[in-house]
Amino acid sequence: MGQCTSDTSKDEDLGNLESSFANYLMTIKTESKIISQETIHSVESQMKEGNLQRAHSIIGDALRDIDNATINIAVTGESGAGKSSFINALRGVGPKDEDAAEVGVTETTIKRAPYKHPKIRTLTLWDLPGIGTMNFPPEEYLEKVKFQEYDFFIIVSASRFTKHELDLAKAIIFMKRNYYIVRTKVDTDLQNEEKNEPSTFDREKTLQKIRSSYVNTFSQYEMDVPQIFLISNRDVSDYDFPVLMDTLIKNLPNEKRHNFMLSLPNITEAAIDRKRESMRQFIWLEACKAGAVATMPLVGLFRDEKERLKVKLNRYRDLFGVDDTSLEAIAKNSQVPVEQLKKILKSPYLLETEKEKTLEKLASETLDLFASATGGPLGAGVFFRKTIYFQHLFLDTVTEDAKVLLTKTYSKV
């Protein structure tokens, strides 16, 4: 009988692995890829030369870089502009949560304050003192707050852009750092405008008027106009908040995109899908790193395997906000029993069934869907490991649960 280690089998496996690697990555948009094009070319080159060990090493290094890549976001602006609320919104925490940034407190500190993301250990948002509270020039301000540590700056404003903020923007450009303008409280502006001019109120015209005021200010000072995002910290699914998130993802280095995407609050179905696609890339790269192995049939789960799968499932539930702690918080805010929320979800009960064949059938269906997405059979046994099957099953399930929860919580369940 032929063995899976025969030269012919190895050649076929290697060819399939190379083909699968190339085909899958072709389906991912450039701005969403979590590894660089240079890394992709290096892996493909090593596979073509038959050097699987080196290819796996390159992928392993890339995965470690993703895991360990720190993301530091500087948030600054005048006191009362909504910096703390914006930081809380980015972190997906409420103003009364234990580690929330304090809202509505008069700024007196001259020190920066770090706020770790509750689920992504490598992401930190830094609340910087407003430049108007510091008695030295913008260049010195940036040195004091350690400008070189941040991936980019977000200048938060709630009214007209001040001379202090314009000078800060110039200094950030001089220091060769990216920055973005976030105009908060546009919901309040719209409400006031509608109240004052009910017969002529036009939402889009009002928003355009706000945006134009910033554009005109930069033009007046002969500065290039940066990207300006109009948001409400109280409704992050509306206005420019989703566009801001897409822009930040696009402009981050490849290795930092994955964790930033996972950090995003579930504000829209598109944001949830983006998380899933990023996790699919990560899972797929892990599988490629495992290399060309013999196909493993889907047989019954052993107890220790089930425990490992349970850890994976719980991690996905946590990242997608359908874990028990998140459900309790949502239930409290929505004033509905947590058991009622759980009834509309599938992931909490995914591993409780005794009928393993049901899981195996679902896993096979997941494999079929993924195979069709990559344009053909998945080679070299990369996806034929049971844990890979189930990781995709878990991922798709928590994604759908997150979407259901998004819809139901807005409709008060």
Q: Which range (114-123, 140-149, 287-296) has the least confidence? A: 287-296
> Would the pLDDT of 303 be above 60?
no
Mean pLDDT value across the chain: 80
pLDDT value, residue 407: 84
Within a 13 Å sphere around the CA of 326, how many CA atoms are in the beta-carbon half?
24
pLDDT value, residue 408: 75
Q: 236-271 pLDDT, tens per residue?
A: 888 999 999 999 999 999 999 999 999 988 888 999
> Would the pLDDT of 76 be above 80?
yes
Tokens 């049901």 belong to which residue?
358
The residue ranges of every structural domain in the chain are 7-39+266-410, 70-252
Q: SS3 for 251?
A: helix
Tokens 């290399």 belong to which residue?
291
22 contacts 45 by C-beta, under 8 angstroms = no
CA dihedral 146, 152, 158, 163 (to 10 degrees): 60
> Would the pLDDT of 320 be above 80?
yes
What CATH number has the domain spanning 70-252?
3.40.50.300
Determine the angle formed by the axes of helices 186-196 and 203-220, rounding to 10 degrees. 120
Instruction: Give the pTM.
Output: 0.81
Q: Cα separation of 196 and 126, whole Å?
A: 37
> Would the pLDDT of 3 be above 50?
no
- Element (DSSP H or E) covering residue 179: strand 178-183
Rg for the chain (alpha carbons), in Å?
Answer: 25
Q: How many CB atoms lie within 10 A of CB 124?
A: 18
pLDDT band per the 50, 70, 90 thresholds, residue 368: low
Q: Where are the extended beta strands (E) located within 123-162?
A: 123-127, 152-157
Compare 15 and 346 and report the one with higher pLDDT.
346
Q: 96-126 pLDDT, tens per residue?
A: 777 788 776 555 556 889 999 999 999 999 9
